[in-house]
Structure 1
């Protein structure tokens, strides 16, 4: 009884957020169905799945980290890393000056009206009354306005970031790069630009896939301590002066030249910029430096998702034929994000990782993230545009429920059964995890008539 009640609650929630399955017809991909039936691969390994083991930092990086922190109080660093993670999860972008001014005006009117009703008219112009109103407005602003300030990454905070954030960020980047490599096998980047490079996680992850192709790594981070730490890690720790990578550069500011790079990444950086304008200027600069792919990643919070969505919309509004682009991942469309438009929930994904940088003991952990991969140029007509699972598939007896973001820019819920959709498509649906693409086409009745 308890289980049935739980399922019914889940389904009621789903119906509110996702369109009914009766509005469209589901067509399985013929090539995938044939390959599954001919045992070329199993449904559990269909091409929409990005299969990867639980990620851990590369051995050489772990060795460098342990060398760097061996003279520091490990327990204190770990505690500080936990506090930093909590702070970042609760972090919001700074409120715009216009918004603060409007909010202050509205609060002042409400406070003034309320307090004026409590005193005699001749008291309204006294300094005591005005000060009382002012104090109440300030206190209410403190409650309603997020007190944003930049995080200063000095020598100690850089070490804390290395301990607390390098493993999850590396794992997220490996997951994103894995999909690019699987879907674009001809992509062999020769140059990489990392904006907000921090301790170098983008470089570590890129070398898993394209080390033989990359000849230039251009890293930009405003913290000189972060840049020094990233360089020491590549050298193998303190005491070593020879890096195992060539063509690695570190700068504190964005270069003003027009050089472009095959792969441009901004990972967990836009949240640290002081305004919407500064974020959009950074996105425009990064897009202008992009030759093939621009990847933007933030934490999978609502605030992180909102920043990803505003960057996505900004780039997609560019109409210049030479500079236009489209969404490669996660969206199978270039329309407005349906999750942003219809719910208060973030469009995010999850990755498992192992954090073993401070001790031999393995810690299995999870990280939620929001991201977008934008590709230069128009979308290839051969792009399958398979829908993506934006929540975990609900596997039930003789049916499975997939919550999908589709090529027509909508959120749809499909209940798959073997009798209705065929055994191969049904088993592909059951094997599709949160974040995977499902090799089907969803066709509405109006589209079918056309």
Structure 2
């Protein structure tokens, strides 16, 4: 996967918001918000415009990278998909909407749903100078999802973990009911995040959905604990990002799990690289999820053409073994 960076216009808007503010105060707010999320809290901790900005500066780059990488996987396998409308559920500061706008020039209607007023206000302010995002609409009442019109593309990123186990099943039904064509769900790349993805995947396949990515099939996941399906996206850190997190490295790696589901069966299936391949002088070894299940594939150097292709495989890629 290539490294998706925040669009220049979004970076500039975030930097402008930070101008004149005390970095120490914003850093302290960001640290408190991060601790709350780690302790199982939710977006209610974000209560002011300063809180929303602190959250956006720390989390927007990583969330954007994960969503953009997932949308890239969608485009790779459904190159003709040209959605006109997006429903961004749990939109926060609008991160997924920015990623979708960058991915699909066809998008004209952006509907953002989030219960947090501070994050919604920030989303509107960040998007107001964007040619298409300037027309986004935001709602934050409890009935917004049920009353929203179905959209070609629906995204729920880093959201379903905020629901209890009983509530997730109902929420999954509500998401799918608003999906005109394709649904993307992204979660943290942890065992718990992966389990939530698998639960949603299983439920919606039973309701007639078909997997686009990352799975090359609609069958049961072949992985078993303690293994789990996740991917990593390296992303550059903004200068403010480095300052607020007290980071030393100019990049970070966001680990995420995701699933893209559609209402129509996929015509062609590709295998998925589930871990960094091991490239040796004799062979390339790779862990692949295939239409026939999990395979530990070894491509010998004596097969020069296949070996050359396998050397270019990257974790998370869809690959054609034929």
TM-score using structure 2 length: 0.90
Q: Which residue of structure 2 lines up, in the alignment, with residue 418 of structure 1? A: 301
Deviations, residues 190-213 of structure 1 (Å, cap 9, x unaligned): 0000000000111111121223x2
User: Matched residues in 2 for 1:333 and 1:359: separation?
Assistant: 38
Write out aligned runs for 1:162-181 (5 A): 162-181=56-75
Gaps of 5+ in 2: 244-248
User: Are residues 1:272 and 2:221 paired?
Assistant: no
| Contact map agreement 1:262 1:293 (CA 8 A) in 2 | yes
User: Matched residues in 2 for 1:349 and 1:63: separation?
Assistant: 28
In the alignment of these two chains, the number of paired residues is 313
Q: Which residue of structure 2 lines up, in the alignment, with residue 348 of structure 1? A: 230
Q: Name the SS of the counterpart of 1:440 in structure 2.
A: coil
| Contact map agreement 1:77 1:163 (CA 8 A) in 2 | no
Classify 1:86/1:436 alpha carbon distance in 2 versus 1 (closer, same or farther; 3 Å): farther
Deviations, residues 299-318 of structure 1 (Å, cap 9, x unaligned): 11111111111111110111
TM-score using structure 1 length: 0.65
Q: CA deviation at 1:262?
A: 0.6
User: Are residues 1:432 and 2:313 paired?
Assistant: yes
Pair member with larger Rg: 1
User: Are residues 1:204 and 2:106 paired?
Assistant: no
Counterpart pick for 1:373 among 233, 256, 260: 260
User: Matched residues in 2 for 1:77 and 1:258: separation?
Assistant: 34
User: Matched residues in 2 for 1:276 and 1:436: separation?
Assistant: 31
Gaps of 5+ in 1: 1-49, 92-147, 237-241, 319-323, 442-450
User: Matched residues in 2 for 1:256 and 1:87: separation?
Assistant: 29
Classify 1:277/1:394 alpha carbon distance in 2 versus 1 (closer, same or farther; 3 Å): same
* Stretch of structure 1 that moved more, 258-267 or 76-85: 76-85
Deviations, residues 65-90 of structure 1 (Å, cap 9, x unaligned): 122122322133235435544654x4
Q: Which residue of structure 1 lines up, in the alignment, with residue 112 of structure 2? A: 219
User: Matched residues in 1 for 2:255 and 2:99: separation?
Assistant: 18
Counterpart pick for 1:245 among 91, 116, 133: 133
Counterpart pick for 2:218 among 334, 340, 348: 334
Counterpart pick for 1:262 among 128, 134, 152: 152
Write out aligned runs for 1:10-409 (5 A): 50=1, 52=2, 54-82=3-31, 84-85=33-34, 88=37, 90=38, 148-152=40-44, 153-155=46-48, 156-211=50-105, 213-235=106-128, 245-253=133-141, 254-257=144-147, 259-273=149-163, 275-318=164-207, 324-339=208-223, 342-356=224-238, 358=240, 363-377=250-264, 379-380=265-266, 382-383=267-268, 385-408=269-292
